[in-house]
A = this chain, B = another copy of it.
């Protein structure tokens, strides 16, 4: 079903298993990096947008739907947030949401594809905003899987995996070896977060991620929300921790300033979103 040719005229579509989702607009840039096809479009509805390998990643007026739901459940619930690691996240949106927390002293972002960063800085500056020059922000153009394998044990309060679908460069970000390394480098009282795909478009991958996280960590749960430009619009993010399911108890003191400027996320939203597991997924995960 994947359409190898992207339209440069009226509609730019992502194709997924008999379904397509398109935005009216035009292609501004379409280039092959060493890792993937990078496309920038200008859309009528959501402003400029980014596709990787013909899949929607983000857009100026839609990015909060994804980044808020990935970042704040972790950052508002971890015991401390001094040192944070982001793997992937080249558009800068995850880092921007993180750096809103004044308590963060050091943020490592490990992105494999330098061109995603350069192109995002050029075409999507509002998504990363000031992160690129924030003194707390440390960018490493490296493979996140090796980074996790080589980092010091107990060195991060929060680890966030902001990768694309588990094909191409993101393949190794969804397996047990990688998750085990993430657990090892996470401090006690810390939280691990990853996007975990759509329960409707990719139910098997979604459930595999949750199951492996539950094997590797002491506690892990998905929450469900919506990213209209992603396949099915229905998306999930999963959170994991040791000792207790910390991510179920966001701290209102830390959340107060953050939620004021959020489009989607609030403590209320987060608590609800952990409960809205569809019945068919709940039954499958119990097996």
Contacts and interface: CB of A to CB of B under 8 A. Distances in A.
B21 A225 contact: no
10 contacts: A18-B43, A21-B22, A65-B200, A200-B226, A226-B226, A226-B232, A271-B272, A272-B274, A272-B275, A276-B276
A263 B279 contact: yes
Interface in A252-287: 259, 262-266, 268-269, 271-280, 282
A173 to B, nearest CB: 24
Stoichiometry, copies per complex: 2
A224 B65 CA distance: 14
Nearest to A276: B272
Nearest to A19: B45
Contacts of A19: 21-24, 45, 228
A20 B22 CA distance: 5
Nearest to A261: B279
A202 interface: no
A147 interface: no
A226 B23 CA distance: 20
Nearest to A21: B21
Contact of A232 (B44, B228, B269, B272): B228
Nearest to A282: B266
A23 B22 CA distance: 11
Given A201-B228, A259-B279, A268-B277, 19 more contacts: A1-B24, A13-B22, A19-B45, A200-B226, A224-B226, A228-B233, A233-B233, A233-B234, A263-B279, A264-B278, A266-B279, A269-B275, A269-B276, A269-B279, A271-B272, A271-B275, A272-B274, A272-B277, A273-B276
